[in-house]
Every structure is written in C-alpha cells, then in structure tokens.
Structure 1
Amino acid sequence: MTKRITVVPAVGRSVPDPEAGDLLPVEGREVTDGAWWRRRLADGDIVVKADKPPTTKASAAKPEEVK
C-alpha cells in the first residue's frame, strides 16, 4: 500500500501537482508520498497537514464529574 499525505501550499506559493495536472489548491490535497513532494517540503514550498489536531494535556484529561 502506498502511503498518502495531505499537503497544503506554503503561504505565497503556487505548487504544481504533477499527478492532477494543475496547481495544488489552497485548502490542500491528499497526494502520494514520494520524492516529488518530499523535495517540495524540503524547499519550503508545502506544509504537511496533520491527520488529527494535536491534543493538549488539558483537553486530553478526563473532565471531572459534576455533582
């Protein structure tokens, strides 16, 4: 199975998507993780979007029962 990542263009960047044949949309797109996208990441052209928002200690803790 090929790994997929969701990428968004860095602010002020227009990034071509060779698989789709157009520019990467501002809201991002899921793409195949490969050399092309890793190079765009290394150059600062894109940002990898996290699948899940990170949790903080406060939101990860169980809420106390209300009596």
Structure 2
Amino acid sequence: MSELHIRPVAGRVVRDPETNAPLASQGEKKPKTSYWQRRLMDGDVELVKTKAKEVKA
C-alpha cells in the first residue's frame, strides 16, 4: 500500500481514526486509505511537498 505525506490545513484539527491522535501540523506519512483520501478531497488536509533528492550519476 502506498503512503501520503499530509498535514492538516491551517485552523483544522484532523484525528487519525485508529489512534484518535491529532495529525501533526508539520505533517505525517499515512497509508493511502479511503479515509485519508476523503480528508484530502474535502480540503481538511493537504499534501506536503517534498524536495526531490538529487541522484549522483
């Protein structure tokens, strides 16, 4: 299963359905489940943009 690196949108508290803990404001990696995809589509969370790692040739 793939993962999403997401964080809550400013002013929102989004809880993990398994742990009931709030999602960290700096973002966390979560499994790409229907729950997290709905939170993304509803605008409760946003994807965290990560810098691409340079690959040495």
Fold match by TM threshold 0.5 = yes
C-alpha distance 20-29 of structure 1, shift in aligned 2 (>3 A): farther
Q: Comparing both structures, which one devotes a greater share of its residues to strand?
A: 1
Sequence identity percentage: 33
Structure of greater Rg: 1
Aligned counterpart, 1:22: 21
Runs of 5+ unmatched residues, structure 1: 54-67
Tell me, in whole angstroms, the C-alpha distance in 2 between the residues paired with 1:42 and 1:10. 12
TM-score (norm: length of structure 1): 0.68
Runs of 5+ unmatched residues, structure 2: 53-57
Q: Using the TM superposition, name which of 11-20 and 24-33 deviates more.
A: 11-20
Superposed structure 1 runs of 4+ greater than 2 Å apart: 50-53
Report the RMSD for the aligned CA atoms in angstroms. Answer: 1.4
Tell me, in whole angstroms, the C-alpha distance in 1 between the residues paired with 2:37 and 2:18. 15
Letter paired with 1:50 = K
- The higher-RCO structure (CA 8 Å, 6+ apart) is 2
TM-score (norm: length of structure 2): 0.79
Residues 11-39 of structure 1, C-alpha deviations (whole Å, 9 max, x = no match): 11000112333010111110001100111
